[in-house]
């Protein structure tokens, strides 16, 4: 995969520094710096997650996520691991992808439990996506009250949500951003699904943030490239994004973003990373391998290579070269 990751990853790193948190792994060093650690992505799997309803495996899921967080950060215990990335005083947004094959509520709940371990009050956490309706359809329970973990869509008029009135420019895009991401939170966790996308090739941590702008339908040309990177390059995202937790309990290697059971398989795992380019690169690699196993064309042969991953790397947001990514298993 194309790689020209020699520029300092100042945007994401600056966000972490400003917030005063410990440094996210693999996000702040230029590739040519000898002390730079390799970008690290954790693939955490447990075959037990493949069977039955995920609701029945909440405890297992929490354990798996915490173990993955420890592996990712090198912390001795789960609470320390979460505290390395999030402070109790911060407001955290969990951006789930509920379009088509959706991220599952127990995954978001396990993340909430981790944040609570770090001392983040429930009231400072919001689970969000574009629409109330899509959140509900995916099984999330809306909560717009002042107590507990918030859960709501941006497009909802009532309740004071919605998009900023001002158009923000970033690269080639001009969009109004969700007030949730622009105004309400200090840190972001992207929770995509391990799945295929009919235009962008894959829809993982980066593409998930098309759900943060008011006009994603305008940016589908050219495999959504460079628009996906333009969206995540905006300060509302780049400076706040700390962690990707990709829901790979069920993967889907073709026909996305809608749910196509015929192309789904039980990957039974999660992908975690603080380098959002590296996490997407590993996710795309898993999807490509599954496509090969199913006898499908590669994404490039199918006319939809996930170009945005290489573009993000070239623009210094992270590592796209699999050979340079430290891939750890749990």
Partner 1 sequence: MDNLDNLFASPSRRDVLRWGAACAAACGLARGVRALAQQDAASTAELAGPRLAGVARHPALFWEKLPDNRVKCLLCPRGCEVADVERGYCGVRENQGGAYQTLVYGTLCSANLDPIEKKPLFHYLPGTPAFSIATAGCNLECKFCQNWQISQYRPEQVESIVTEPRKLVDACKARKCPTIAYTYSEPVVFYEYMHDTAALGREHGLGSVMISNGYIQEQPLRQLCRQLTGVKIDFKAFTEKFYQEACAGQLKFVLATLEVLKDVGIWFELVILIVPTLNDSPDEIKQMSEWVVKHLGPDVPMHFTRFHPTYRVTNLPQTPIPTLEQCRLIALDAGVHYVYAGNVPMHPGENTYCHGCKHELIRRIGYEVASNQIRDGKCPKCGTAIPGVWSQEQALAFKPREKPSAPTASQPS
88, 258, 289, 300: which one binds partner 1 (CB under 8 A): 258
Position 218 contacts partner 1 (CB under 8 A) = yes
52, 53, 76, 157: which one binds partner 1 (CB under 8 A): 157
Residues 261-273 as b/e (b if ≥16 CB within 10 A, e otherwise) read eebbeebbbbbbb
35, 145, 147, 217: which one binds partner 1 (CB under 8 A): 217
255, 273, 306, 316: which one binds partner 1 (CB under 8 A): 255
- Residue 159 neighbours by CB distance under 10 Å: 12
**Smallest distance from partner 1 to CB 144, Å:** 14
**Smallest distance from partner 1 to CB 103, Å:** 15
Query: How far is it, in rounded angstroms, from Cα 307 to Cα 292?
Result: 19
In the shown chain, the binding pattern of residues 119 to 148 toward partner 1, with x for contact by CB under 8 A and - for none, equals ------------x-x---------------
Query: How far is it, in rounded angstroms, from Cα 2 to Cα 20?
Result: 33
Give me the residue label for tokens 């978001």: 108
**Smallest distance from partner 1 to CB 55, Å:** 24
Query: How far is it, in rounded angstroms, from Cα 160 to Cα 154?
Result: 9
Query: How far is it, in rounded angstroms, from Cα 55 to Cα 320?
Result: 34
Interface residues for partner 1 in 158-187 (CB under 8 A)?
A: 158, 162-163, 165, 167, 169, 174
Position 256 contacts partner 1 (CB under 8 A) = yes
Position 214 contacts partner 1 (CB under 8 A) = yes
Residue 63: helix, strand or coil by DSSP? Answer: helix
What element of type H or E holds 140? none
Helices (runs of H) and strands (runs of E) counted in the chain: 10, 13
Q: Which residues bind partner 1 (CB under 8 A)?
A: 99-100, 131, 133, 155-158, 162-163, 165, 167, 169, 174, 198-199, 214-215, 217-218, 220, 254-258, 260
């Amino acid at each position: 995969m194309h790689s020209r990751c020699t520029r300092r990853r100042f945007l994401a790193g600056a966000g972490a520094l400003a917030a005063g948190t410990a440094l996210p792994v693999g996000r702040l060093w230029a590739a040519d710096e000898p002390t730079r650690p390799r970008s690290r992505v954790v693939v955490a799997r447990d075959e037990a997650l493949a069977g039955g309803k995920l609701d029945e495996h909440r405890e297992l899921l929490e354990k798996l996520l915490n173990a993955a967080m420890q592996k990712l950060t090198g912390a001795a215990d789960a609470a320390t691991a979460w505290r390395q990335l999030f402070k109790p005083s911060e407001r955290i947004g969990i951006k789930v992808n509920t379009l088509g094959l959706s991220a599952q509520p127990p995954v978001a709940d396990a993340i909430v439990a981790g944040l609570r371990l770090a001392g983040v009050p429930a009231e400072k956490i919001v689970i969000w996506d574009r629409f109330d309706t899509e959140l509900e359809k995916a099984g999330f329970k809306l909560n717009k009250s002042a107590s507990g973990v918030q859960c709501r869509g941006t497009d909802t008029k009532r309740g004071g949500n919605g998009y900023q009135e001002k158009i923000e420019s970033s690269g080639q895009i001009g969009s109004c951003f969700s007030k949730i991401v622009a105004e309400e939170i200090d840190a972001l966790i992207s929770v995509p699904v391990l799945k295929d996308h009919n235009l962008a090739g894959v829809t993982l941590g980066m593409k998930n943030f098309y759900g943060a702008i008011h006009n994603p339908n305008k940016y589908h040309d050219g495999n959504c490239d460079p628009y996906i990177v333009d969206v995540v390059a905006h300060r509302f995202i780049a400076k706040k994004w700390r962690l990707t937790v990709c829901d790979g309990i069920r993967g889907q290697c073709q026909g996305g973003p809608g749910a196509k059971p015929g192309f789904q398989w039980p990957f039974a795992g999660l992908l975690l990373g603080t380098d959002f380019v590296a996490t997407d690169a590993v996710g795309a690699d898993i999807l490509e391998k599954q496509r090969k196993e199913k006898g499908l064309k590669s994404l490039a042969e199918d006319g939809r290579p996930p170009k945005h991953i290489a573009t993000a790397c070239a623009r210094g947001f992270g590592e796209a070269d699999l050979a340079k990514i430290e891939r750890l298993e749990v």
